[in-house]
Structure 1
């Protein structure tokens, strides 16, 4: 069954759907680094399916560069990743490119469209930083472009994912309009607020998951089984200790005789550790991190910013945003991972006092349930941004499994 992934980001949704048995015929994304990541993932699956994964491993070990890797791959595989903004002007060219891809199939019918417009316009954090409360942000209305694709390709079902803020954006008018026009496009729809932790992800992450299906299909919103999640300690148990600024990338470096139970995140026989890369935190932040973790370990509470010694305080605001520094908790799951992790790691301090740093790229990827064989392109900052913006692949996989069965039965 064929899928188009819109506003694809770094590929969290499409990864889950691919592992559940769907075929991703096109990813549409405007960010260049995210597109490079999507291409590298296409390369991984092509080489895996042709029993040539050694070339991918050579790339991870820095024995060949990305251009050399991509040169091994047929252009029709790489062309599934379309770097483009989605707007009125680009719609004709996007349709043409996707139609050309579909023309290579015996049956060019699209079964599913997945994705969700950028969520900054609906997020609480985004509104707090905008003097107009994001009311003038054009991203409020990108869902119309999503609907344009539905009307053109007429998939049997669609998945629309976004932050909870979309329900109340512009006093609820955005979500009311979204539901109205999805219905006019010919779909029955329903939505729920789902939490990634209920799908086995080690993260407390609530998102609106809206599912629609053609009105002639006898379907209803599916019931998803609850899954067990790993604690942070279990999730990081096979990763070697690092200090601030240290990194391990493309090495046989997992701790010996250690493995995690989650085979989705660390597949059997996967032995090369990549992107276990940490920031170089400054001395002031490291002192604060040490205090924050110590406070949690000794008192089981979050250290407030106004409790810091005066010589460590760098902001004048000591009355609001007092939880600026948050350690992860060894015996629990993470709070929501967001794209701001690309700017600093203060909200994601490693729980091990001896390591005293913010989390690595690979640790953040695991919190989002990305497989360890998933490689994020271009830079540490770009990787963190892609990870923070993603739908957890394991959550997507569990949703896709259920939808796969529903579509097969219909």
Structure 2
């Protein structure tokens, strides 16, 4: 029966049917959006966070309650999931499984133990280090997908000396898949963000005998920090390259390609938010930021090709009346400081700017005949109102002002706690990025909706796979699933687009 189901899936897809996707650890749906845009059908998702699950259900299933409910993969059996979503028999329900188990699930679980987990799952159900990995494999076993995509941080190639990606491939190969993994940076695929991640692709032997990864569409010289993090991730491979059987060198980008999409390309057409002005007029106040306030587009602003894509993404077109989540954090102490920062300034530079501002305030008071001694209550009050409290020697990466002519640095889930890692490049606006700007930097279109308040929305965006990165991977996987005819058609479409 197992083989019959696989052949039925292959025949349906190669007869023109859309490959059906199940997204595990789905978040708000960055991977889902990329795959849907590449011609896949998103059948369902499992996501533990309630706000992210609501976002996924709203954007891909019209807000249906059965698709918007948060689920714990440990407590959700495949049979119960397909019954609830009315997907039919488990073995016939989906063709592709995508997702990224949290990297903590792999911590310190060695290769022999992974094999034991797979062979004797009940014996290790008490082990939280392995459990989410175990559940991912359980879904692969139950659904028998033709293809699998796993996404994770680069450190999974060198997690305490382990190459987790290689170990995942070993287990999947034992189940009848051909596997490969590599490191890809989203900036090479049209995303205005230098985001490096590990991607692993696996295909059933029945449909492919090798794995390939998408060719870059954009060119960029990565800063040294990104090359350094890649070198650290590859350290295990460099020492044991003969054991990294399934590692693929990332496809190389050519300087002849279009330049990477910059922060200004991504954000320049959005309505400006002048934080200092809104603070002075009372428009910006402490309290929850509401997503229902409309922010009409400014027609005087130039729209880049990227901006047009974000406004016109099929199925997620920009609302005609304006954006609904273009809101920022209330940070009254820091707006003047943001205006002084130079592009690329991080926390040590910000702290020094703030100390200079404090000295200027004290000098002005002295010109007015008021003496402010260091250590006095008045001095401390002025300092607290001007200078951020963190030790400048311990938090160098806590802040960063973006460059307008480069892609942004990596957005993290920590955006949900503060947004100092992405201070707007426009000194006149003098603020951290808005929710919608974070979405633009991740390549979420303007019609994509995020549920919850501002902090959960930031967290969902920071956790997501950029949809354009996901789409590039999905297009490559579609070629393998469809076979030679799809490959010829894809080549023809690319050639036509280049003319």
Separation in structure 2 between the aligned mates of residue 137 and residue 240 of structure 1, nearest angstrom: 49
Q: Secondary structure at the match of 2:312?
A: coil
Residue-pair matches, total:
358
Whether 2:169 is the aligned partner of 1:179: answer yes
In structure 1, what is the equivalent of residue 310 of structure 2? 265
Separation in structure 2 between the aligned mates of residue 323 and residue 173 of structure 1, nearest angstrom: 27
Separation in structure 1 between the aligned mates of residue 345 and residue 87 of structure 2, nearest angstrom: 58
Q: Which of 94, 119, 124 is 1:110 aligned to?
A: 94
In structure 1, what is the equivalent of residue 47 of structure 2? 29
In structure 1, what is the equivalent of residue 67 of structure 2? 80
Q: CA offsets per residue over residues 71-107 of structure 1, 9 Å max, x none?
A: xxxxxx54234521122xx143x432224535459x9
Q: Which of 141, 147, 170 is 2:137 aligned to?
A: 147
Does structure 1 retain, via aligned residues, the 8 Å contact 2:186–2:196?
yes
Q: Which of 350, 359, 367 is 2:424 aligned to?
A: 350
Separation in structure 1 between the aligned mates of residue 163 and residue 479 of structure 2, nearest angstrom: 34
Separation in structure 2 between the aligned mates of residue 302 and residue 252 of structure 1, nearest angstrom: 30
In structure 2, what is the equivalent of residue 404 of structure 1? 478
In structure 1, what is the equivalent of residue 439 of structure 2? 365
Q: Which of 328, 340, 351 is 2:402 aligned to?
A: 328
In structure 1, what is the equivalent of residue 298 of structure 2? 255
C-alpha deviation, 1:183, in angstroms: 2.1
Quote the RMSD (CA, aligned, Å).
2.8
CA 1:360–1:119 in 2, change beyond 3 Å: closer, same or farther? farther
Q: Secondary structure at the match of 2:409?
A: coil
Provide TM-score, normalisation by structure 2: 0.66
Q: Which of 31, 38, 45 is 1:13 aligned to?
A: 31
Separation in structure 2 between the aligned mates of residue 333 and residue 188 of structure 1, nearest angstrom: 34
Does structure 2 retain, via aligned residues, the 8 Å contact 1:121–1:137?
no
C-alpha deviation, 1:214, in angstroms: 1.2
Does structure 2 retain, via aligned residues, the 8 Å contact 1:34–1:377?
yes
Separation in structure 2 between the aligned mates of residue 34 and residue 316 of structure 1, nearest angstrom: 31
Q: CA offsets per residue over residues 22-53 of structure 1, 9 Å max, x none?
A: 11111100100011111211355xxxxxxxxx
Q: Which of 166, 172, 194 is 1:204 aligned to?
A: 194
Q: Secondary structure at the match of 1:382?
A: helix
Q: CA offsets per residue over residues 81-135 of structure 1, 9 Å max, x none?
A: 4521122xx143x432224535459x93421000011246679xxxxxxxxxxxx
Separation in structure 2 between the aligned mates of residue 399 and residue 82 of structure 1, nearest angstrom: 27
Query: Which structure: larger Rg?
Result: 2
Separation in structure 2 between the aligned mates of residue 338 and residue 323 of structure 1, nearest angstrom: 12
Does structure 2 retain, via aligned residues, the 8 Å contact 1:327–1:348?
yes
Whether 2:262 is the aligned partner of 1:231: answer yes
The equivalences for 1:277-292 within 5 A come to: 277-283=327-333, 285-292=334-341
CA 1:223–1:176 in 2, change beyond 3 Å: closer, same or farther? closer
Say which structure is richer in helix. Answer: 2
CA 1:181–1:157 in 2, change beyond 3 Å: closer, same or farther? same
Provide TM-score, normalisation by structure 1: 0.79
CA 1:249–1:332 in 2, change beyond 3 Å: closer, same or farther? farther
CA 1:187–1:43 in 2, change beyond 3 Å: closer, same or farther? closer
Q: Any stretches of 5+ residues in structure 1 without a counterpart?
A: 45-69, 71-76, 124-135
C-alpha deviation, 1:325, in angstroms: 1.7
Q: Which of 118, 140, 155 is 1:165 aligned to?
A: 155
CA 1:227–1:81 in 2, change beyond 3 Å: closer, same or farther? same
CA 1:301–1:382 in 2, change beyond 3 Å: closer, same or farther? closer
CA 1:30–1:137 in 2, change beyond 3 Å: closer, same or farther? same
Q: Any stretches of 5+ residues in structure 2 without a counterpart?
A: 1-18, 108-125, 219-259, 276-283, 356-382, 485-499
